[in-house]
Amino acid sequence: MSDFLAAAVQLTSTSQPEVNFSAAEEQIELAARRGAELIGLPENFAFMGADEERLELSATLAERCSQFLVTMARRYQVALLGGGYPVPYGDGHRTLNRADLIGKDGQLLARYDKIHLFDVDLPEGNTYRESSTIVSGEDMPPVVEVPGLCRIGLSICYDVRFPELYRHLVDKGAELLMIPAAFTAFTGKDHWQVLLQARAIENTAYVLAPAQTGLHYGRRHSHGHSMVIDPWGTVLADAGVAPGAAIAPLNTSHVCRIREQMPCLKHRKLSLF
C-alpha cells in the first residue's frame, strides 16, 4: 500500500522562459513544502507563445527543460512530471510535444511524445492547428512504476478526448492517469471536468491534471482548474483559476477497493470480439 500527497501545478506561462521556469520552481517548492511527493507541471510549462518563436527556441528549450526537471526533482526530492515541452523534429520546421517523468534521484522514468494533435475551429473564432508545427508521437504512452508511489500512465491534454488511450494505460497497470494540459477556456468550461471525471470513473483510477490558466498571449486563454480526482470520480482538489496547485492524498489501496466494488474492468466484453 502506498499513501502519498500529489500536486497538480497550475501556471500562466508566457513567451518568456526565464519567467516561466521561476514560476514553476516557486510552485514546486510550495508543493514540496506541503509534503507532495509527486508533482505535475502543465503542458507548455516553459513556453506559451507564437508558433514561430517556439520553433526558433525549441532546441534551447528542449535542453533547458530536460535539465530543469532533473534539477528540480533532485533539489526538492520529488517525482516530477514536465507536462509538455518542445523538442526539435528532424525536418527543422516542426517539434514534438514531450512529457518527461523524473524520479527523486533525477533519473528519467518515462517519456511520452503527444500523439493526438489539436486541429480545431472553435465557434468563438479561434483556430488551432497543432499539426502545422507539431509532429505526432509514434509510440503509445507508457506506464511506469514510480518507486514508493504507484503505477503511472502518461498522456497530454487533447489525449483526454480519446478514451481508448486510457484503456490501454489501465491494461498496462496504471493506477494514476496524468493529464497535463493547456485546455482552452472556451472548451474547458463545458468539457474539462466532465472528461477528467469520466476518465477516472470508467478506468477506476486516480487522475492528476495540471493545467494552464488565464491569458497568455494574443487571444490564447486557458481554462485553469487543475484537478486531482479519485477512482470514484470525486474531485479531491481544484486549483480554481489562479496560479497555484491542486494537492490531495492518493492511496493505491483505495484503487483496489473501488475496483472490487465496481469491477467494470473485469466485465468488459468487447475484447471477445
- The yes-or-no answer on residue 266 being catalytic is no
Residues in the chain: 273
Residue 200 · residue 177 · CB < 8 Å: yes
Indicate if 114 belongs to the active site: yes
Instruction: State the catalytic residue, choosing from 114, 130, 150, 175.
Output: 114
Nearby residues of 33 by Cβ (< 8 Å), 6 or more positions away = none
User: Exposed, middle or buried by CB within 10 Å (0-12, 13-18, 19+), for 122?
Assistant: exposed
Cell of residue 71, nine digits: 534539477
3-state SS assignment for residue 35: coil
Residue 184 is given by DSSP the state B
Choose, from 130, 150, 157, 175, the residue flagged as catalytic: 157
CA distances for 214 relative to 3, 44, 52, 235, angstroms = 32, 13, 22, 21
End-to-end CA gap in the chain? 35
Active-site residue, from 43, 130, 150, 175: 43
The maximal CA–CA distance of the chain, rounded, in angstroms, is 53
Q: Identify any residues that bridge with 212 across adjacent strands, giving them in sequence order.
A: 11
43 among known catalytic residues = yes
> b/e per residue, 46-62, with b = 16+ CB within 10 A?
bbbbeeeebbebbeebb
Alpha-carbon distance 44 to 211, whole Å? 9
Active site residues: 43, 114, 157
